Amino acid sequence: MTKQAFLRCNRSRLIFIVALILVGMVARLLPYPPNFSPIGAIALFAGATLGAKFRAALIPLTAMLLSDCWLGMHTLMPVVYACFLFNVWLGSRVQSRLKPLPVLGVSVSGSIVFYGVTNAACWYVGYPHTWAGLISCYTLAVPFFQNTLAGDLFFTSVLFGSLALAQWRFPSLRVAAYANGQVAAEE
């Protein structure tokens, strides 16, 4: 890859990163059903498409932090942020095989982990520490889980589908290898 091509690639990557952050931030500020949000899908997409995990992790965290300036924080936000970092990691697991089934599989996995972990934290701080309290917490959270799952699957399909369409239309966008966070386009 020539120096000019490398610089163009890095500039395009920076624009891509900033765009994802802005989309995530603005989407959180729009009215939508509770937990129907693109942040989980953006985290998954960033993990799958950016070679550098640190850069990929910054995308959902920055979008969350900026939008939380308007929305406010609550005591469970560190748990929520950690779940989105887990989505970045899940995305990095499918980096080499961006096919529909593995991508949708990790999307569902991310939704399930988000439901399990955030509701365990919610139960710990807001419910009686009994079996009845635990069951009540998870039962009351089912509608939120349904929205999380629907949002993650929808936005994951949009993001990865758009990438596949763009790569089909512009073959130079196809990624052949990730090395130290730098993309080498297929020759």
DSSP state of 170: -
Assigned domain for 50 exists: yes
CA distances from 169 to 60, 76, 164 (A): 27, 42, 9
Non-local CB neighbours of 39 within 8 Å, separated by 6+ positions: 24, 27, 28, 60, 63, 64, 84
pLDDT number for residue 176: 43
Assigned domain for 145 exists: yes
Q: Look at the block and give the residue holding tokens 């990730």.
A: 178
Q: Where does residue 99 fall: left (phi above 0), alpha (psi -120 to 50 degrees), or beta otherwise?
A: beta
Assigned domain for 187 exists: no
Non-local CB neighbours of 21 within 8 Å, separated by 6+ positions: 59, 62, 63, 66
Assigned domain for 178 exists: yes
Whether the CB-CB separation of 49 and 62 falls below 8 Å is answered with no
pLDDT number for residue 1: 53
CATH classification of the domain holding 115: 1.10.1760
- Number of separate domains in the chain: 1
Tell me the mean pLDDT per 10 residues along the chain, length 187.
53 75 83 92 91 86 89 92 96 87 96 98 97 98 98 94 83 52 40
pLDDT number for residue 175: 53
Domain that holds residue 70: 3-182
Whether the CB-CB separation of 91 and 48 falls below 8 Å is answered with yes
CA distances from 59 to 12, 14, 79, 146 (A): 15, 11, 17, 24
Assigned domain for 147 exists: yes
pLDDT number for residue 97: 78
pLDDT number for residue 187: 32
